[in-house]
């Protein structure tokens, strides 16, 4: 009989959130191996894309979030901002001051309390109710939860304890050590550590999508056998149209996906602007497409006056998956801005990898720099060193537009067919361990 596995994840195609693409590809190849994968996820959300090729064999259960205080507050903020914008533009400074005050102090701590461990907190109760019905109606051989959101692990942990099902937790980002969570109140970070510790302890296996993250977990949780922590990276599928000839005309440096937090450091763009001013970047343009923090754009306008909106730098909103593949095909250089996030490798790196095109990784030493060097896929530039940034930017523009042999060499390690075999092995071991 086919074995059944239930994946729990916050966003899944047609959502544009890239974490869902990882699970969709696992499900596709598990289906080829005799599994019946099902997915429990939240509803699609505002940013959707029907162009991603979702395998029709995957059964998807979509459960909406419940009402929450942070959600209601967000709606209030949007209506307030709209009203302010419709008023007088001259009142912006006062509005900004009021908004800053509204988001600080006791009010912000209350919002943090009601959004723990993340903005999917209100999904936990309805998802649990729905999942309990699923598990009572049929036998699932295993449960896999994938984060972020961390709420997925809390749901899976409750189900595993209640039904005795093997549970594998998949960490695409760190939890308590995630840099974006370090500015939270001390009590929030304390609870993060407690939840993370409980989820690690209760999981039959813990999957980390980078080796540095696996090493961190092994060091932090010595009571759990090291072999219970498994590295399964992100990867790619048979979807990218590889172009081996140089792109005629303008050479495009492409960045796909979000820029936020320390990933939005403007130093790289200051160096870019200076080189363009010196005339060293003829026929070069940089295209950023994805969720770009407004604060980053404001900082860019301040640090690099006149750069945004020129022929050198174009900023676009997120694009559909199919359009992203077309942009990858047309680009000359592929850009990753990672800053100080040393435990993570952005999913975009694995979208870039099979094209064979040179990658410029603006990153501190860590998981991404290790992977770029191990795959010989490009150049790593120090995000805090303008001299190194300048040198590496000019160097990457002189590399061949594509290496047509790289894809063949990497398939055995990074194709989702190969990665899913690793997941299949972990699932089999978890099931055997519970039954044995």
DSSP for 306-356? Answer: T-BTSSSEEEE----HHHHHHHHHH-SEEEEEEET-TT---HHHHHHGGGT
Residues 140 and 283 in one domain: no
Across residues 171-177, what is the average pLDDT?
92
Across residues 308-314, what is the average pLDDT?
89
Handedness of CA 371, 54, 71, 154 (dihedral sign): negative
Residues 313 and 398 in one domain: yes
Could you tell me the two tokens for 31? 């289906």
Residues 425 and 380 in one domain: no
Confidence of residue 295 (pLDDT cuts 50, 70, 90): confident
Flag whether 92 is in a domain: no
Burial category of 102 from C-beta neighbours within 10 Å (exposed 0-12, middle 13-18, buried 19 and up): middle
Confidence of residue 199 (pLDDT cuts 50, 70, 90): very high
Residues 430 and 345 in one domain: no
Flag whether 132 is in a domain: yes
Of all residues in the chain, the percent with pLDDT exceeding 90 is 60
CA 398 to chain centre: 30
**pLDDT over 60 (residue 69):** no
Residues 141 and 194 in one domain: yes
Flag whether 422 is in a domain: yes
Higher-confidence residue of 68 and 124: namely 124
Flag whether 103 is in a domain: no
Of all residues in the chain, the percent with pLDDT exceeding 70 is 86
β-strand pairing of 205-208 with 59-62 = unpaired
Query: Edge-to-edge strand order for the sheet containing 229-231?
Result: 59-62, 35-41, 3-8, 142-147, 167-171, 205-208, 229-231
Backbone torsions φ then ψ of 291, nearest 5 degrees: -80, 105
Residue 230 pLDDT: 98
Q: Is 315 within 8 Å of 434 (Cβ atoms)?
A: no
Q: How many domains does the chain have?
A: 2
Across residues 49-55, what is the average pLDDT?
85
Residues 343 and 201 in one domain: no
Could you tell me the two tokens for 389? 């940034």
Residues 298 and 329 in one domain: yes
Residue 182 pLDDT: 78
Collapsed DSSP state (helix, strand, coil) of residue 277 = helix
Confidence of residue 264 (pLDDT cuts 50, 70, 90): low
Which residue shows structure tokens 């790593």? 380
Residue 89 pLDDT: 42
Tell me which H or E stretch contains 251.
strand 251-256
Q: What is the DSSP letter of 405?
A: T
Q: Where are the alpha helices (DSSP H) in 33-150?
A: 69-86, 92-102, 105-113, 124-137
d(CA 114, CA 11): 20
Cis peptide bond N-terminal to 14, omega within 30 = yes
Residue 228 pLDDT: 98
Flag whether 406 is in a domain: yes
Handedness of CA 17, 19, 20, 24 (dihedral sign): positive
Could you tell me the two tokens for 90? 């001259």
Residue (of 413, 417, 434, 433) closest to 211 by Cα position: 413
d(CA 87, CA 102): 19
Flag whether 76 is in a domain: no
What CATH number is attached to the domain comprising 55? Answer: 3.40.50.2000
Collapsed DSSP state (helix, strand, coil) of residue 247 = coil
Residue 77 pLDDT: 56
Could you tell me the two tokens for 275? 């080189």
Q: Is 351 within 8 Å of 240 (Cβ atoms)?
A: yes
Residue (of 310, 402, 292, 307) closest to 356 by Cα position: 402
Least confident of 9-13, 127-131, 258-262: 258-262
**pLDDT over 60 (residue 268):** yes
Burial category of 219 from C-beta neighbours within 10 Å (exposed 0-12, middle 13-18, buried 19 and up): exposed
Beta strands in 114-179 (DSSP E): 142-147, 167-171
Could you tell me the two tokens for 324? 């992203």
Residues 402 and 364 in one domain: yes
Residues 160 and 228 in one domain: yes
Residues 277 and 213 in one domain: no
* Polymer length of the chain: 436
Residue 106 pLDDT: 72
Collapsed DSSP state (helix, strand, coil) of residue 252 = strand
β-strand pairing of 142-147 with 3-8 = parallel
Q: What is the DSSP letter of 15?
A: B
Q: Is 367 within 8 Å of 210 (Cβ atoms)?
A: yes
Convert the pLDDT of each residue in 133-170 to its tens digit.
Answer: 999 998 899 999 999 999 999 999 999 999 999 999 99
Which residue range is the domain that position 62 belongs to? 3-66+118-235+415-435
Q: What is the DSSP letter of 415?
A: B
Across residues 362-378, what is the average pLDDT?
94
d(CA 384, CA 381): 9
Flag whether 27 is in a domain: yes
Residues 8 and 150 in one domain: yes
**pLDDT over 80 (residue 393):** yes
Write down the mean pLDDT value for the chain: 87
Residue (of 131, 171, 179, 165) closest to 153 by Cα position: 171
Residue 85 pLDDT: 46
Rg (CA), the chain: 23
Across residues 34-41, what is the average pLDDT?
96
Could you tell me the two tokens for 290? 């994805």
CB atoms within 10 A of CB 148: 23
Burial category of 208 from C-beta neighbours within 10 Å (exposed 0-12, middle 13-18, buried 19 and up): buried
Flag whether 200 is in a domain: yes
Residues 406 and 429 in one domain: no
Residue 36 pLDDT: 96
């Amino acid at each position: 009989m086919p074995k059944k596995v239930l994946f729990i994840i916050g966003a899944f195609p047609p959502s544009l959130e890239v974490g869902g693409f990882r699970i969709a590809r696992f499900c596709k190849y598990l289906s080829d191996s005799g599994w019946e994968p099902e997915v429990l996820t939240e509803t699609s959300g505002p940013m959707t894309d029907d162009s991603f090729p979702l395998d029709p064999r995957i059964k998807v259960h979509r459960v909406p979030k419940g009402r929450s205080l942070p959600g209601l507050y967000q709606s209030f903020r949007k209506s307030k901002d709209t009203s302010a914008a419709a008023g007088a533009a001259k009142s912006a400074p006062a509005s900004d001051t009021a908004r800053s005050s509204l988001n600080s102090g006791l009010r912000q701590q209350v919002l943090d309390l009601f959004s723990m461990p993340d903005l999917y907190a209100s999904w936990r109760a309805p998802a649990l109710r729905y999942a309990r019905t699923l598990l009572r109606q049929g036998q699932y051989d295993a449960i896999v939860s994938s984060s972020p959101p961390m709420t997925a692990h809390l749901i899976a942990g409750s189900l595993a304890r209640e039904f005795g099902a093997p549970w594998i937790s998949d960490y695409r980002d760190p939890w308590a050590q995630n840099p974006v969570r370090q500015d939270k109140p001390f009590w929030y970070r304390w609870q993060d550590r407690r939840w993370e510790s409980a989820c690690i302890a209760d999981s039959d296996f813990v999957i980390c999508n980078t080796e540095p993250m696996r090493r961190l977990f092994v060091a932090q949780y010595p009571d759990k056998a090291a072999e219970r922590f498994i590295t399964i990276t992100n990867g790619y599928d048979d979807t990218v149209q590889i172009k081996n000839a140089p792109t005629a005309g303008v050479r495009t440096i492409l960045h796909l996906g979000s820029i936020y937090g320390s990933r939005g450091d403007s130093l790289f763009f200051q160096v870019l602007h200076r080189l363009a001013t010196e005339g060293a970047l003829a026929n070069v343009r940089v295209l950023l497409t994805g969720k770009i923090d407004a604060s980053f754009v404001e900082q860019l306008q301040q640090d690099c006056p006149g750069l945004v909106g020129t022929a050198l730098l174009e900023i676009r909103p997120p694009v559909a998956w199919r359009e992203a593949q077309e942009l990858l095909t047309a680009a000359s250089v592929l850009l990753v801005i990672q800053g100080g996030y040393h435990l993570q490798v952005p999913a975009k790196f694995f979208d870039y990898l099979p094209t064979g095109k040179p990658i410029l990784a603006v990153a501190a030493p860590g998981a991404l720099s290790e992977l770029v060097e191990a795959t010989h896929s490009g150049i790593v530039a120090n995000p805090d060193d303008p001299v190194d940034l300048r040198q590496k930017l000019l160097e990457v523009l002189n590399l061949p537009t594509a290496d047509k042999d790289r894809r063949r060499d990497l398939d055995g390690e990074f194709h989702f067919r190969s990665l899913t075999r690793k997941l299949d092995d972990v699932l089999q071991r978890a099931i055997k361990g519970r039954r044995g």
